[in-house]
Amino acid sequence: MIIELEPIFQREGAVFPLEYTFSVEDDVIDSDIRVSGRIFNRTGIVRISATASYSGKTNCARCNKAFSFEVSVPIDHVLLAQAENEDSDLYIVADDLRLDLDALVCEDVFLAMPSRFLCRKDCKGLCPVCGADLNEGDCGCKPAADPRWDALKDLF
């Protein structure tokens, strides 16, 4: 969605409501991304304040079980019509007074994704010996002894 920012920059107190959905082609995101919020000009400072929500399906990084999840990502940026230093994470420069909101939301969503997905915070994973799911109970396997400690066994 391309937003024309000129009317917002020109009028203090202007508000542009955001309520839309767009599609993303990705392996993890299983549905459309829903965006709700607003772009507003308060005291000459234009901000975007919104929330991007989506759901997805993936496998747990520890136990490899498939699970579904829902995520809400805050979208909060200051927008400038021009700036001397355009390489800053503190604001977004919209030279032509247009904003590609889909690209901005996608960037924020992908940056907020965890490096690995877990089905739950306390997931115990799989046994490294037999491959049993440790969330369902102890498998009875004894952990392999570390051969680096064998020299200390002789001392006792």
What does the pLDDT look like over 104-121, one tens digit per residue?
999 999 999 989 999 999
**Distance from C-alpha of 35 to C-alpha of 51, rounded to nearest angstrom:** 6
pLDDT band, residue 86 (cuts 50/70/90)? low
- 137 burial level (CB within 10 Å; 0-12, 13-18, 19+): exposed
CA-to-CA distance for 11 and 40, rounded, in angstroms? 10
**Alpha helix (H) residue ranges in 54-130:** 101-112
- Interval 119-143: pLDDT, tens: 999 999 999 888 899 999 998 888 7
